[in-house]
Amino acid sequence: MVTIKSKGEIEKMREAGRVAMLAQKAVEEAIRPGISTWELDKIAENTMRANGAIPAEKGYPSGVKGVPDFPGSICASVNDEIIHGIPSKNVILKEGDIISVDLVAYKDGFNGDCARTYAVGKIDKVTERLIEVAKEAFYEGIKYAKKGNRVGDISHAIGEYIHQNGFGLVREFQGHGIGREMHEDPGVPNFGKAGKGLRLEPGMTIAVEPMIMVGSEEILELDDGWTIVTEDGSNAAHYENTILITENEPEILTKL
């Protein structure tokens, strides 16, 4: 069910988004060769808790028998890992890696969700462009996140931009509504037909999140039941913000 947020609920969403970005910035500042993804996870969790929030991803149910609930406070996805990478003391970042950090702060009953992909030291030009296009695709999409438009308008713009720039996109996972729950209606795919899907109304809050890769669009799930990787081993990038549909331009809620 799609929920329209009240003014008071939107204020709480802004605060959850602010804390999410505080955690994201703290992680960004700590990224360097030699640090583990487990250490980054603790930095994010400590930042959220210091600001009155909890990491919503920690303990998120897998919904699959035999697969444990998500153990991390962040999803830390390195290189060919697209999403849902599990933080680990054994994953040590090195020069030339990239890491996608997806995190959700839960505060006062509401969620703020954001993701970024970062370079670890110096990376090659193709990978630099991969990260740029993921971000640019987000902004191309939210040009259409306006009252009266449809979800498909956002999806179409994202998909077209990614393919025009020579990258592949993830079709099996998508953006989503967000509010009291981390994942609400509507789904927001990264491809689709303009003019199709749910009509956007002021007060809707959605997480828009392009996930793109250098090579093939085929993906695999690792044996941990969480981590999604590119089948061909090519690098992947992820960019996400929580946004509010308004009477005018969309508002990014995951910001400082």
pLDDT in tens, 6-15: 999 999 999 9
Average pLDDT of the residues of the chain: 98
Range of the domain at 194: 7-252
Q: Per the domain annotation, does 48 fall within a domain?
A: yes
CATH of the domain at 108: 3.90.230.10
pTM over 0.95: yes
**Domain membership flag for residue 145:** yes
> Which band of pLDDT confidence, cut at 50, 70 and 90, is reported for residue 1?
confident
Q: Which residues contact 178 (CB under 8 A, 6 or more apart)?
A: 111, 113, 184, 205, 206, 207, 242
In a domain, 82, yes or no: yes
On whether residue 1 sits in a domain, the answer given is no
Check: CB of residue 73 under 8 Å from CB of residue 58.
Answer: yes
Neighbours of 37 (CB within 10 A): 25
Q: What is the pLDDT of residues 225-255, one digit of tens each?
A: 999 999 999 999 999 999 999 999 999 999 9
Q: Is a pLDDT exceeding 90 seen at residue 213?
A: yes
Q: Give the separation between CA 193 and CA 215, rounded to whole angstroms.
A: 23
Would you state the pLDDT for residue 49? 98
Distance CA 243, CA 204 (A): 8
34 domain residue, yes or no: yes
Residue 131 belongs to a domain: yes
Q: What's the domain count of the chain?
A: 1
